[in-house]
A and B are shown apart, each in its own frame.
Chain A
Amino acid sequence: MRRRPVLVAFLVLLPLAGLAPAGTGAPAREGWREFRGTWSASGRRQTVATEGGARAAIVEMSGAVVLTSGEGLSRGFRGEAIGFDDGLGVSLGRAVWTDESGDRIFSRLKGEPLQTGRTIVGSITGGTGRYAGLEGEYSFTWQYVVAAEDGVIQGRAVHLGGRVRRAGAAP
């Protein structure tokens, strides 16, 4: 079993590869700090028929928000979102991002239904810990959303980008 030590070392060291230094964020301008990244998420969608033939849906998703830039923000978060699509093109939701310290960023979501190529806009409404008093906005586009068995869906959001600042910071 000469491969065992290699396998064990691989399993243990694998996640540590993610500990490389963080990318530098865009410079602060007028109190705003820009950030960019991706969100890979899995979850579930439950639907119900509507009078127009379309289906209304509630969607619950969670996964990794990984930031490639964003001064003052963690390099990544656990992103959780819950949303409602009325089947007529209106989608609303709430999202929370949680970092390694348990500090959170809350946001309100609005946009197009959960489908490949559709865009969602988020308004940051506050936070806890180091993100207390945060405000800002962001958007992302679903690079793909695929439905697997048992109602499970998986998606990856790209062009995730926006800006944040402390509420009350100089305009």
Chain B
Amino acid sequence: MTAPGADRRQLLTRGAVLALALGLWFWPVPEGLVPSAWHLFALFVAAIVSVVIGAFPILTSSVLALAAAVLTGTLAPTKAFSGFANGTILLIVVAFLVARAVVKCGLGERLGHYVVSVFGRSTLGLGYSVFLVDGVIAPAFPSNTARSGVLYPLVLSVAEAAGARPGEEGRRRLGSFLMFSGMASLTVSSALWFTAMAANPLGAEIARGYGLDIGFGSWFVASSIPTLAAMALLPFVLYRVLSPEVQATPEAPRAARRALAALGPLRAPEKIVAATFVVMVGLWATASTFGLDSTAVAFLGLGVLLATGVLTLGDIAKEGDVLATFIWFAVLFTLSGQLNELGFMGYLGERLAGALGGLSSAVAGIVLVVAYVLLHYLFVSQTAHLLALFGVFLDVGVKLGVPVAILAFLLLFATNFFSANTPQGSSANLLFAGSGYLSQGELYRLGALTTAVNLVLYLVVGIPWLVLVTR
């Protein structure tokens, strides 16, 4: 039973979202856009705003937007439902289930106790451990979504080993801190290494047209200082903001070692999961070399876990959150992708970038980077964002006299560090966002904070560093 005040507030917010959707829908279509692009934008914005102001949960707003888009003829059904067959989204679903197996068999508990035994003297130390592990394994994973599938079971295990459970108040903020550390870590680990995100080489290919030869080494040199600064600062900022219930745990490492000893040797299901996981990690790490599909690798792992009985159909049936995540992300992924296909993203990027004429090169460069980051609120894929806008912004910056190497690197790093701005900002967020430890409000608030911290760091620390190393 909800309080009357809460009911009124919900009615108001829902009314506001409806008014926003209708207002934008019937607003005169800007010159240069087709009506379907404008109408889809109205639905997309209404869906996102409804989540941000708490009018509807993200699943509800997404499916309502999808239904409206198809029933009004804004999108053809075949286009509208195409996200449900997207390989990356399926990879998330399967990674959720594999992570559940890691926890269920007891391997997760063992991993969690191990991490706590090494880093567990403080909650902040656990946060840094997440960034450290991610930063070390990142260069071997061109798919940051696949990497999230490796990192998430570890973070989940650490959270559980530390006594945090979704929905239980005692140590909820501790769990929130660790989960969001996983999301935030992916924003910077992907920026640290050229090979840590699929869009990085694509961006380098576009930048080659401007005479830039960006490879593994030059990328790392350029990214190292600002990214390491972000890795050092982000856990601390999140820690201060979330203020976990338990902060200093000097006895935790010893207790974890005792718990590890009590667990005894690996049991058969743990061995199966460990072996499966090692094979999956190996195949994911070498997927681009051998032309393997990352989603198929995940399906292979899930198949093995089901065939060996480590996971059962009953376990799958319990994972209702996975279905919800699959639906809302596939919907938003499709809507955002269609905005691009209908010309909205290109139009917006060209117009915004083109409006910067007359600014000094330094100001124009900073405005371009900031605008590029803010525009990620309209995207549901880092790669799609880069492909749609990186070349446009780089081109405009070059024409305005912004040093091409500095601007290119900043935009490329931004393509990674803005990924946590919203839960749908990257498919790599979904496992953490769907863990149950973070509310929708927290996800947007912490996402904005993380993106702002990254943006400031990459501008303040990154620009002087890039001036130095790109001479």
Contacts and interface: CB of A to CB of B under 8 A. Distances in A.
Nearest to A67: B32
B71 interface: no
A161 interface: no
Contact of B448 (A3, A11, A74): A3
B45 A11 contact: yes
Given A7-B448, A8-B52, A148-B383, A41 B31 contact: no
Interface in B324-368: 340-352, 354-355
A18 B347 CA distance: 8
Interface string B50-75: 00110000000000000000000000
Nearest to B381: A148
A20 B356 CA distance: 12
A4 B198 contact: no
Interface string B192-226: 00000011001001100100000000000000000
Contact of B346 (A17, A41, A43, A68): A41
B31 A74 contact: yes
A16 B30 contact: yes
Interface stretch (A47-55, A58-66, A120-128, A163-171): A58-66
Contact of A76 (B32, B199, B341): B32
Contact of B377 (A10, A43, A68, A99): A10
A63 B351 contact: no
B24 interface: yes
Contacts of A19: 30-31
Interface in A102-126: 102, 116-117
Nearest to A65: B343
Interface string B267-309: 0000000000000000000000000000000000000000000
A1 B206 contact: no
A33 interface: no
B35 interface: yes
B200 to A, nearest CB: 12
Contacts of B348: 14-15, 18
A38 interface: yes
Say which size band chain B's interface belongs to. Answer: 35 or more
Contact of A10 (B34, B41, B374): B374
Given A3-B445, A8-B49, A15-B41, A63 B341 contact: yes
B391 A78 contact: no
Nearest to B23: A12
B329 to A, nearest CB: 16
Contacts of A41: 346
Contact of B35 (A75, A100, A156): A100
A98 interface: yes
Interface in B366-421: 374-375, 377-378, 383, 387-388, 391-392, 395
B77 interface: no
A62 B354 CA distance: 21
Interface residues of A, number: 51
A7 B52 contact: yes
A30 interface: no
A62 B341 CA distance: 6
A16 B23 CA distance: 13
B206 A144 contact: yes
B132 interface: no
Question: Which of B31, B88, B198, B355 has the largest number of chain A CB atoms within 10 A?
Answer: B31
Contacts of B32: 18, 64, 66-67, 74-77, 99-100
B52 A76 contact: no
B310 interface: no
Given A7-B52, A15-B41, A143 B209 contact: yes
Contacts of B378: 11, 14
A159 to B, nearest CB: 11
A118 to B, nearest CB: 12
B388 A40 contact: yes
Contacts of B33: 76, 78, 100
A98 B34 contact: yes
B34 A15 contact: no
A22 interface: yes
A131 B134 CA distance: 56
Given A11-B377, A17-B351, A76 B31 contact: yes
B34 A102 contact: yes
A18 to B, nearest CB: 4
Given A18-B32, A62-B342, A76-B31, A116 B209 contact: yes
Nearest to B33: A100
Contacts of A146: 202, 205-206, 387
Given A15-B344, A146-B202, 8 more contacts: A11-B45, A15-B30, A15-B41, A18-B32, A40-B349, A40-B392, A66-B351, A100-B29
12 contacts: A4-B52, A7-B377, A18-B32, A22-B31, A40-B350, A40-B391, A63-B340, A66-B346, A78-B34, A149-B88, A156-B395, A158-B395
Instruction: Pick the 8 closest A-B CB pairs, nearest first.
Output: A76-B32, A40-B346, A64-B346, A18-B351, A64-B343, A154-B387, A64-B347, A66-B350
Interface of A: 1, 3-4, 7-8, 10-12, 14-20, 22, 38-43, 62-68, 74-79, 98-100, 102, 116-117, 143-144, 146, 148-150, 152, 154, 156, 158
